[in-house]
Amino acid sequence: MSLLGRRAPLVSAAAGLAWRLGGLIWVATVLLAMTAGVLTPAGAWLLKSAVDELTRPAPSLIAVAALAAATVMLQGLSLGLGSLSTLTAAAAQRRMSVAVASDLYRAVNSISGLTRFDDPDFQDSLRLAEESAERVPAALTDMLATVLQGGTVVVSFAGLLISIWPPMLALVALACLPNLAVQVSLARHSARTSEANASRFRQWLLLRGLLTDPRSVPEIRLLGSGDFFRGRLVSALRDARTAEYEVRRRIAWAQGGLTVLGAAVTAIGAIVIAMRAARHQLSVGDLVLFLAAVSGIQAALLSTLNQAMMVGSGLRLLRHYVSVVAGNAGVVPGPSLGAAGTVSIPVPPLRDGIELRDVWFRYRDSDWVLRGVTATIGFGQAVGLVGANGAGKSTMIRLLCRMYDPDRGAILWDGIDLREFDPADLRRRLAITFQDFGTYDLTAAENIGIGDLPSLADRPKIVAAAQRVGLDRVLRDLPGGYDTVLTTLFLGADGSRGVTLSGGQQQRIALARTLMRTDADLVILDEPSAGLDVDAEHQIHRQLQQFRRGRTSLLVSHRLSAVRDADLILVLHEGRISEQGTHDDLMITGGRYARLFTLQAAAYQDTRIGAEPTVLTEELERKW
């Protein structure tokens, strides 16, 4: 397939994007460019006429004055149209930039799972997609305007050149052919460099944020690692800028050499025309017009080729935008079901429970995290999930939320495979607090309210959620109350400064956000009290027990006292459910759970006041 054939879909996509987003502004830009293209040859012809009039034996003062004034007026009009064209192009670019970002991140938000976000190639494509989608429609508009303007200039000047010395037109065209070949090669090299630089610039942006983020700066200062990260930042930026410089160096050398070639061709023609003018075969005005025509044609052709290079480079990158916007919008189906999930069915209210049936899962290029997990979370049950770090607890939660799909096995909701549901529909029936929760640069009310977006303006419901986690008084005492922005990096809508909550208070914000979903079928709490003090933890667990009562819930915690009252406790070990039962059952069994629980309990015994480790503790220590 030819290069044009391969690029045709991208050209069509870019043109459609430019037309949809630019509209009449785009048309105005093109019309202004064409008008400017007509004025340039007209100005050159007026200049020729003025020179011819001046070189006559008895020049007409009125004609000379009129021609001089008209020449200056045309130049002024051309400059004015150029400024107006720049303004319309900027207006079109403004609309394109906003609309492109909206379309692109609408597509990003439609990606239901995390698989693609885990892929560094996708992260690079995302950055290139935004860059190209902003650049290419504007570049196409500029190129079309340049082509039409240049075409008008070339056609107008070509007629003048033919009337003066026809061979010159062929020489000018011949001088531009090497430029065309060079620009095609440079366009490809420029696009490859941009793709290679994507990860470097992404690393630079991440490191720049790391060195300025108040959440990371304290540790960096404490460890003295600022220069270490600065070195990595500088290295990434240096490599990226060096690659860009190499491209620009090649372009500069190529364009410089081709400019010299064009000057040599012009010199040949200028010598011929000057000699003919010296013999009085042509007028002095013809020489002036010839020089203006050659310069105008070369400038128009070279400008068109330069725009073509920019468009060619941009089109190669535009495929990233097309890929993201038109790409797979859902999670990748598990291999056991193939195309399952392509037609979604409504998620029914949970009535029987959730079953994990021989679930296997591993992240990209890693070992198995889950190795045949089989368990049941019965309707209305409070289930505790415990296990060591790396056992797979967080992965189980992500699978329940359909952030990923199992590689083998299935997760059933009232007997229906989760892959049959639309992920967004499923998640509306879940209330979740993640271990790595977020506090957003929003007001306190918004930070809680986004837990249930339809209730974002329901202040009584937001206050009730804050009261449940013991945060109401704290938020009311903030400078702006619930309308205080929870960040010091941005000002509020009224210009007020925000605040930063403590870690425990931020965790309560996340819990209040979860409690906004009062109609959730499944409540999942992943280490909900890890950052809380003893009093706060006790109060929070009492409130969470009330909230979970009558609901199906899954509680993940390393503090085994938090799951002691659960209806069922699942012990996850090395990717498998090694034990399950009530607290009493598991303690009688004397397995892993009993050992861990007893060790935690023993840590609170104080031998200074006569307490001794229990016999069970000693027996378990010997056993393990």
**pLDDT tens digits for range 564-601:** 888 899 999 988 999 999 999 999 988 898 998 888 88
SS3 content of the chain, % helix, strand, coil (to 5): 65, 10, 25
Task: Quickly list H helices, 439-533.
Answer: 444-449, 459-468, 472-476, 503-515
Looking at the chain, which residues constitute the CATH 3.40.50.300 domain(s)? Answer: 352-429+522-533+549-589, 436-519
Q: What percentage of residues in the chain have a pLDDT greater than 70?
A: 78
Task: Quote the pLDDT of residue 176.
Answer: 65
- Nearest-Å Rg of the Cα atoms of the chain is 36
d(CA 448, CA 377): 28
d(CA 376, CA 233): 48
Q: Please give the full DSSP string across 180-248, using - where no structure is assigned.
A: HHHHHHHHHHHHHHHHHHHHHHHHHHHHHHHHH-TTTHHHHHHHT-HHHHHHHHHHHHHHHHHHHHHHH
Query: For the segment 5-22, what is each residue's pLDDT rounded down to a tens digit?
Result: 455 666 666 666 666 666
Q: Which of 3-12, 84-93, 230-239, 277-286 has the lowest mean pLDDT?
A: 3-12
Task: Quote the pLDDT of residue 419.
Answer: 92
**Strands annotated E in 323-381:** 353-361, 370-378
pLDDT exceeds cutoff 90 at 128: no
Query: For the segment 106-122, what is each residue's pLDDT rounded down to a tens digit?
Result: 888 878 778 888 777 78
Average of per-residue pLDDT across 321-328: 70
pLDDT exceeds cutoff 70 at 455: yes
pLDDT exceeds cutoff 80 at 414: yes
More confident residue, 506 or 436: 506
Give the C-alpha distances (Å, rounded to integers) separating 31 from 11, 85, 155: 21, 9, 17
Query: For the segment 362-388, what is each residue's pLDDT rounded down to a tens digit?
Result: 988 788 999 999 999 999 898 999 988
**Which CATH number among 3.30.420.340, 3.40.50.300, 3.90.1530.10, 1.10.10.10 corresponds to the domain 436-519?**
3.40.50.300
Task: Quote the pLDDT of residue 406.
Answer: 94
Backbone region of residue 610 per phi and psi (left: phi > 0; alpha: psi in -120 to 50; beta: other values): left
Task: Quote the pLDDT of residue 2.
Answer: 44
pLDDT exceeds cutoff 90 at 413: yes
Task: Quote the pLDDT of residue 60.
Answer: 83
Task: Quote the pLDDT of residue 534.
Answer: 66
d(CA 482, CA 111): 32
Task: Quote the pLDDT of residue 174.
Answer: 67
Scanning the structure block, which residue is given the tokens 């008084």? 473
Task: Give the architecture (CATH level 2) of 9-194+239-326.
Answer: Up-down Bundle (1.20)
pLDDT exceeds cutoff 60 at 543: yes
pLDDT exceeds cutoff 60 at 1: no
When the pLDDT of each residue in the chain is averaged and rounded to a whole number, the result is 78
Most confident of 37-46, 137-146, 339-348, 457-466: 457-466
Average of per-residue pLDDT across 337-365: 79
Average of per-residue pLDDT across 355-360: 94
Contact 404, 361 (CB under 8 A): yes
pTM: 0.69
More confident residue, 409 or 90: 409
pLDDT exceeds cutoff 60 at 332: no
Looking at the chain, which residues constitute the CATH 1.20.1560.10 domain(s)? Answer: 9-194+239-326
Query: For the segment 166-204, what is each residue's pLDDT rounded down to a tens digit?
Result: 777 677 666 666 666 666 666 667 767 777 777 777 787
Cβ count near 315 (within 10 Å): 22
In the sheet that 568-573 helps form, which strands lie side by side, from edge to edge? 430-433, 522-526, 552-556, 382-386, 568-573, 576-581
CATH class of 352-429+522-533+549-589: alpha beta
